[in-house]
Structure 1
Amino acid sequence: MTAHHPQTPQFFLTAPAVCPYLNGQIERKVFTHLVGNRAAELLDVLTQGGFRRSQNIAYRPACERCRACVSVRILVDEFQPSHSMRRVLRTNRDLVGRMGPAVASSEQYSLFRSYLDSRHADGGMAEMSMLDYAMMVEDSQVETRIIQYRQRGPDSSFTTVSDGDLVAVALSDVMADGLSMVYSYYNPSMPHRSLGSLMILDHIERARALGLPYLYLGYWVEGSAKMDYKIRFLPQEHLRPSGWARYEKTGDQTA
């Protein structure tokens, strides 16, 4: 396949497929390839336009009769955790998150499989092998990092922290204006920890420490219960036809 210059990428449209989020809907995506030494620059531009990355593909919804998928980014500098979010942080004080190169491991894959089998057994990723997983993690032309969250080991002390069990993993891109959470998963047998929320809270603080204004969360799908957690992290902006606009949530915002 010919590699095209990132300033003039070629875009393609997928065939219609069943929507994984809304019953009765059909999805299509527009996508392009991220290649060459300017792939990161291209991803920055496309992310501003609502694209997401998967390996060396940037994509966004292009459904004919539905506009429910909305790109979401958190305003890092203004964010303050709610009471319940502070409780999540307290509950997980025994965990340590370490950011490193995007390298796959069998330990990660074992946790990944447990997560899929428990939460997404019928999803499109259900049959992923170890090789597929390694490609998802490592096949990137942009600055990608993996963050592994572990329990503190039994021999940890005030000055040293040893590694305990792996409980959650996040694959994230570092962009010019923010962090973008590409994919995350966690131990499904620990619901009391709210590990999905913990990883978002941790990414907000990491973006703040890096001086980056945004945390990109991907798509919020109005009407899909599995996506509602994303709009609890306020303030945030949504990408509308006129550009990024502040989202004003109605009702209870203390969840």
Structure 2
Amino acid sequence: MRHSLPIAPQFYVTAAQPCPYLAGRTERKLFTALQGDTAELLNDALSKQGFRRSQNVLYRPACAECASCLSARIRVADFRPSRTQKRVMRRNAPLTRRFSAPWATEDQFALFRRYLDSRHADGGMADMDIFEFAAMIEETPIRSRVVEYTARDGDGGTDLAAVCLTDLLDDGLSMVYSFYDPDRRGDSLGTHAILDHIEIAREAGLPFVYLGYWVPGSAKMGYKAQFDALEIYVGGAWRALRDPAAQTEIGRPRTAEPIAEQVARIDLPDSVARG
């Protein structure tokens, strides 16, 4: 007997688990698979609606009593670096940027492990081995690139300073995951990677750089609010972030919209929705 799989995406919800950003809260995610010829179309469309990619899955927070995780992106044309960010750019000017296909290397994994052990030793990725790392980098059904930043060492060679896994969307660049040399913490390499991606997008004529989720009240995510021309996805629309402190109201407990209604509001491309 022949069976044909539906092309139209099916949406699911994860079980509740402790929130990694705000103590005492739980999180759950609405997610769907990225597969087939429509993967790029779906990724482009759902990224504009607050979703993020992890390997071959697109997800968006769907927590029962919290709406703190806000998808954030920078309007490239309107961005102006602060004085501090200009200093970061000058400090890291000697770094060399290199693009490559999404292929994991031992040097990347070694840097990744040092980064996790220094910055996120108790996080959800703390136990990732090289095979899981390779899957994170390589399992992508869409256009992705690895952006490496290297520095000259004392012997005339190069050292890997920072790495970013980046997706190419139809309206911008999505910074999926970044990590850097913890011994160069004073160089603000995470900030540099974002600033450099803004420049890459500007050169390519792309209007946005997607940063993932900004979480008011979370020290881990506070740095994103320091960028000019930031937009957050709230109530089904992108809105300029005027006053980061005022957004704490969004994260207060609320009655969640039913999952079925959330799914019904998702706007799918015609070629994907038809199935």
Distance 1:250 1:243, change over 3 A: closer
Task: Identify, as 1 or 2, the structure richer in helix.
Answer: 2
**Alignment TM-score, normalising by the size of structure 2:** 0.85
Give 1:4 deviation, angstroms: 3.7
Distance 1:141 1:3, change over 3 A: farther
Distance 1:225 1:250, change over 3 A: closer
Q: Residue 20 of structure 2 corresponds to which residue in structure 1?
A: 20
Q: Residue 71 of structure 2 corresponds to which residue in structure 1?
A: 71
Task: Identify, as 1 or 2, the structure richer in strand.
Answer: 1
Structure 1 CA distance for aligned equivalents of residues 22 and 227 of structure 2: 22
RMSD: 1.6
Question: Which residue, out of 249, 252, 255, partners 2:243?
Answer: 249
* Helix, strand or coil at the partner of 2:193: helix
The structure showing larger relative contact order (alpha-carbon pairs under 8 Å, at least 6 residues apart) is 2
Which contiguous aligned blocks of 4+ residues in structure 1 show a shift greater than 6 angstroms? Answer: none
Structure 1 CA distance for aligned equivalents of residues 77 and 100 of structure 2: 24
Given that 1:75 and 1:214 are in contact with CA atoms closer than 8 Å, whether structure 2 keeps it comes out as yes
Give 1:129 deviation, angstroms: 0.7
Question: Which residue, out of 211, 216, 220, partners 1:226?
Answer: 220
Residue 81 of structure 1 aligns to which amino acid in structure 2? Answer: P
**Where does 1:93-242 land on structure 2 (aligned, <5 Å)?**
93-152=93-152, 164-242=158-236
* Helix, strand or coil at the partner of 2:111: helix
Given that 1:4 and 1:35 are in contact with CA atoms closer than 8 Å, whether structure 2 keeps it comes out as no
Given that 1:173 and 1:179 are in contact with CA atoms closer than 8 Å, whether structure 2 keeps it comes out as yes
Q: Residue 61 of structure 1 corresponds to which residue in structure 2?
A: 61
Residue 164 of structure 1 aligns to which amino acid in structure 2? Answer: T
Any stretches of 5+ residues in structure 1 without a counterpart? 157-162
Q: What's the CA shift string for 1:196-222, capped at 9, x where partnerless?
A: 000000000001111100000000001
Percent identity over the alignment is 49
Residue 227 of structure 1 aligns to which amino acid in structure 2? Answer: M
Distance 1:196 1:14, change over 3 A: same
Residue 180 of structure 2 aligns to which amino acid in structure 1? Answer: Y
* Helix, strand or coil at the partner of 2:122: coil
Give the number of aligned pairs: 243
Give 1:109 deviation, angstroms: 0.1
Structure 2 CA distance for aligned equivalents of residues 23 and 250 of structure 1: 20
Query: Structure 1 residue 41 and structure 2 residue 41: aligned?
Result: yes
Any stretches of 5+ residues in structure 2 without a counterpart? 246-275
Residue 223 of structure 1 aligns to which amino acid in structure 2? Answer: G
Structure 2 CA distance for aligned equivalents of residues 230 and 175 of structure 1: 20
Distance 1:29 1:155, change over 3 A: same
